[in-house]
Structure 1
Amino acid sequence: MTEFIQHYVQAGQTSLANYLLDHFREVGMTTDQLLVYLQLRRYMDRGEPLPDATVIASHLGWDKQRVYQLLHEMITQKLMVITTVTDSQGQKQDAYDFRLLTEKLSQLAVKTTQQVVKQTASNDRSAIFNQIETEFGRPLSPLEMESITQWLDEDHYRPELIQLALKEAVLSQAYSLKYMDRILLSWERKNLKTAAQVQREKERQAPRRTQSATTPTTAIPDVPIFKLTDD
């Protein structure tokens, strides 16, 4: 057992990104190509930039021609290239280069992020339409939908701000987009762009409103009118 552990440690380990395992098919890599890549990677990590295809084939139990075919496919699919590198002794030699594969994975990550952002924006838009229709108790007209779309796409009001304006309108029993638009415009003039900023502004104004409501007004006393002269 001790001898096995020694051989096990000496054999080393090959590092592999889980992102590649998750998405290799999405960049056009087949399972067989992935197996070849893993075998190449183990030797490249040991300092062999161009592992022998015969050795790779023996590890996989395949014919050498099959490995050559898969290597050719990966080059054609722009998953890798064969480039020339200079070693520590200043000698030039060929090497497998998988930077194209990494680039494809990075582009995939960007596309995935963009898709998530678009889907989130679409969900927010649908949620706003549904909430307004629910609170107004009726379907929105095409013109009203266009107005809401303008709030989002042209005025760039955040969904949370529109939802807060809807809440204000409902509390005032003003079931109208025009009323909501006036609220949004007033916040825009004050440079309030988030629900948190609106809340802080309300809290700042609350003491003034309370003081105004509790300050007694000076009453004008009733002054009796006396007749100073007889008719």
Structure 2
Amino acid sequence: MISLESYLKHGQTTISNLLIENYHRLGMSNDEFLLWLQLYSYHEQGNSFPDLAPIAENMNLSQQGIYRLMNQLVQKRFLQIDSQKDAQGRMNDHYEFSIIFEKIGLLQDQQKQQSQEQQTEQQIQALYQMFESEFGRALSPIEYQRIGQWLNEDHYLPELIQLALKEAVLNQAYSLNYIDRILLSWERKNITSKAQVDEEQKRRKRQMLQKENTSNERQLPKISLHNWLEEE
């Protein structure tokens, strides 16, 4: 059994789980990843340009095999060899590891974009299904084209079009022209989200109630109020 002293003496190598989870997605083979880890381990111990012979022995590879893997890491831009001058003006080589973390950042951005595109596609499919459900029939090619123009040319969000459809259904107006007028009205008022639509509906309700109250006041007879307490 290994002693605690021996365990601590050999130190530890810490890497992000992002690299462990994504090295295959980056195009790195298992052997390339293991060599990268070996080199990074030396880097963590303060040796920025270790001899490859002991690493080849650790990985049970020949010198030719380890050099082949090293070339692959450099060519695929998972590792970079840089040179710097020391205090005496001598050039010293070292491995640069940050390049792989930049690749992980780009990969995450791509995955996020793909996820957003997939989510948008699902919302668009749900939008067409919602129209057919509310209209109680299949949409015509012209109607498909009209909704597509709202999405691709006018750049209305699927959620906003759904809200306009609900507004039309509440008014029993099953017409794309009617929905188009709703969308144009919201566009003029810079309404682009559900929260803004809800606020606009509340504002309209307040206006309607105010008009009703004003109308009721006009219909009531005017009665002069008398303060009987002040009567002599």
Please state which band the TM-score falls in when normalised by the shorter chain.
Answer: 0.7 to 0.9
Quote the residue 1:218 is aligned against: 219
Residue in 1 that maps onto 2:125:
126
Distance in 2 between residues matched to 1:194 and 1:69, nearest whole Å: 55
Distance between the aligned counterparts of 2:88 and 2:98, measured in 1? 24
Q: 1:191 maps to what in 2?
A: 190
Matches within 5 A, 1:1-231: 4-87=3-86, 91-214=90-213, 215-216=215-216, 217-218=218-219
**One-letter identity of the residue aligned with 1:64:** Q
Q: Which amino acid counterpart does residue 81 of structure 1 have in structure 2?
A: Q
Is 41-50 or 72-81 further displaced after alignment? Answer: 72-81
CA RMSD, aligned part only?
2.2
Separation in 1, partners of 2:211, 2:156: 32
Deviation at residue 78 of structure 1 after TM alignment: 2.6
**Structure 1 range deviating more: 147-156 or 104-113:** 104-113
Report the identity percentage. Answer: 41
Runs (5+) with no aligned partner, structure 1? 221-231
Deviations 1:145-186 (A, max 9, x none): 111111122222222211111111111111111111111111
Query: How many correspondences in the alignment?
Result: 219
Which whole-Å CA distance do the structure 1 matches of 2:91 and 2:146 have between them?
Answer: 65
**By how many angstroms is 1:58 displaced?**
2.2
Distance 1:201 1:174 in 2: 19
Letter of the 1:202 counterpart: Q
Distance 1:90 1:49 in 2: 18
Deviation at 1:191, TM superposition (A): 1.7
Unaligned runs of 5+ in 2: 222-232
**In 2: Cα distance, 1:184 partner to 1:93 partner:** 65
Moved over 3 A (4+): 86-91, 217-220
What TM-score do the two structures reach when normalised by structure 1?
0.85
SS of residue matched to 1:25: coil
CA distance in 2 between partners of 1:88 and 1:102 (Å): 29
SS in 2 for 1:93: strand
TM-score where L is the length of structure 2: 0.85
